[in-house]
Amino acid sequence: MTITLNMVAQLLGGLGLFFYGVNTLADGLQKLAANKLRNILESLTRNSFSAAIFGTAMTIVLQSSAASTVMVVEFVNSGLLSLTQALGISLGSSLGTYVLIKLISFPFIDFALILIFIGFISFLIMKSVKARRAGQSLIGFGCVFIGMSFMSGAFSPLKNMPGVYSFLHHFGSIPILGILAGLVLTALMQSSSAFLAVMISLANNGLLSIQAIIALVMGAHIGGTMTTLLSSLGTEKVDALRVALANSLYRIIAAVLLMPFSAEFARFIQWTTPDLAGEVANAYLFSTLFIVILFLPFNHILARVLIRFVRSAKREAKEIRLKYMTKASLEIPTIALNQAGQEIRWQGQKILEHMYELLPRTISTGDPRWITEIEETEKEIDQYYMLIAKYLASLFNQSMTQDQIVRTHNYQLIAKEWEYLADRIIVMARFIQKLYSDGTVIPPEDLERFHHLYSTVSKNFLDLLLLLDTRDHTLLSRITSVHDEITELYKTLQIGTVCDHEEDFTSEKNIMLDLYNLLFRISEHLKNIATMIND
């Protein structure tokens, strides 16, 4: 018997349906679990056990342990997670893969068709957003089973080919061969779920022995880490390499420790389930539990070892890059928006510390060092805004809820407001520079007026950053109230400056009026940002 075009078409079509189903299922689950996932991430403690549970939940939503690990690496780089937490999450991610693998090990083809019909009705007819998302998930879930059915059908004729079984039997009789095959095929597919689905299809047709299943599963564990490991090589982000190395080492060490006892492990797996497809799922589950139990208690020790021995190379040139927002997090809009919120807050903090707070020193001394620092920071803020804008624009390419779309748009506007605010400060710095370059001495009463308005605006600046930190929307009313005070104070200063110097209105007085106006405009930007956060 030879391999026919029909067999190849069924295999490739089934694999395509499987991937489509997994992606559709993941997209629907992400929308359903978006806020829950965000809340879990925000409340995650440094406890390794809770981190492992979060890793399991995140993989169930993403339907990819490799994607989970890549995102975890980015969370560490952005400061959202500690290295110890990241290691715990990466360990728990494999357990999330098991949920799908166990479900597809059951022959639910008729049930899958019903799921697709129910999902189609929910997605097309229901007006409720949650019902439509649930319908999308059901369609994806059904497609996974249809894909599995096609793959099983493709492998069915191979049962009558003794040479195929003999070849696959070598994966069990020579475990290292099975491990390498599982590693390479999983790495090529970039999905342990897809490779395990192929294994289940082979097992359903009696083409895999339990020994071959164990060896291939251990290879799949290692192969699932290759995407993260390869992407981390050569990166300047050292935590990416640390997590990727730990993730691969966990699986390699576990394979070395488990394979000498593969006969005992095989008997245990056969005891837990009567069918070969179930053996694939259970072999994956119990090998994953072995890895988690073996390494989870020692995560903090390994984290210290990695920090000590895997060090980052010093960068020669300063490069502007986002501090929290990462490409990987775009896969889950709720987490991407959480990072964007932190990025927006950090943008404001940088403007406060390296621009706004230098203004009093600049106007009091005229020292060009402060003006230079303000100018350099303003250039960085411009570049920083472009990076944030590009990131948020990319987020619109993802499937988002209406609330997430509004939030993304607001973040775009806030980032632009920060850039406008930085532009106001640089104009103020240049006005002050002109005063001192002309040899003008600023009268004490004008300095006092400036500092009075400046300190009042500062209150709103600090309250706005606190609002970004806490999302305590009662702060909005305080910011609005203080802005009203600033408006009245600004008018008073304008009138006072003009009236005091009606007969001798110098260019210095005109510049002071411009400075008051710019401080008032800064206050308006702060109020605008606070209003958009509250929306």
Q: Which of 277, 293, 159, 140 is nearest to 217 (CA)?
A: 277
Instruction: Kindly state the average pLDDT of the residues 227-253.
Output: 75
Q: For the segment 145-164, what is each residue's pLDDT rounded down to a tens digit?
A: 777 677 767 766 666 666 66
Cβ neighbours around 49 below 10 Å, total: 14
385 contact partners, CB below 8 Å, separation of at least 6? 347, 415, 416, 418, 419
Instruction: Kindly state the average pLDDT of the residues 439-456.
Output: 83
Residue 11's identity, in one-letter code, is: L
Q: Is the pLDDT of residue 46 over 70?
A: no
Instruction: Kindly state the average pLDDT of the residues 356-363.
Output: 87
Q: Is the pLDDT of residue 317 over 50?
A: no
Q: Is the pLDDT of residue 384 over 80?
A: yes
Share of the chain above pLDDT 90, in %: 15
pLDDT band for 464, please (50, 70, 90 cuts): very high
What fold does the segment set 332-534 form as a domain?
Answer: Methane Monooxygenase Hydroxylase; Chain G, domain 1 (1.20.58)
Q: Considering only 49-63, 68-82, 180-194, which range has the smallest mean pLDDT? A: 68-82
pLDDT band for 321, please (50, 70, 90 cuts): confident
How far is the C-alpha of 55 from the C-alpha of 92, rounded, in Å? 5
How far is the C-alpha of 396 from the C-alpha of 411, rounded, in Å? 12
Share of the chain above pLDDT 70, in %: 79
Instruction: Kindly state the average pLDDT of the residues 204-208.
Output: 79
CA distances from 528 to 141, 387, 464, 523 (A): 44, 21, 10, 9
How far is the C-alpha of 531 from the C-alpha of 521, rounded, in Å? 15
CA distances from 376 to 128, 255, 351, 429 (A): 50, 53, 11, 12
pLDDT of res. 512: 81
Q: Is the pLDDT of residue 438 over 50?
A: yes
Q: Is the pLDDT of residue 383 over 80?
A: yes
pLDDT band for 80, please (50, 70, 90 cuts): low
Locate CATH 1.20.58.220 in the chain.
Answer: 332-534
Averaged confidence pLDDT in the chain: 79
pLDDT of res. 462: 92
Q: Considering only 273-277, 456-460, 462-466, which range has the smallest mean pLDDT? A: 273-277
Q: For the segment 520-534, what is each residue's pLDDT rounded down to a tens digit?
A: 999 999 999 999 987
Q: Is the pLDDT of residue 513 over 80?
A: yes
CA distances from 506 to 433, 442, 444, 509 (A): 17, 11, 16, 5
Q: Is the pLDDT of residue 45 over 50?
A: no
Which pair of tokens denotes residue 49?
């056990």
534 contact partners, CB below 8 Å, separation of at least 6? 473, 476
pLDDT of res. 523: 93
Contact 282, 266 (CB under 8 A): no
Q: Is the pLDDT of residue 503 over 70?
A: no
CA distances from 111 to 118, 141, 142, 153, 477 (A): 11, 10, 8, 17, 55
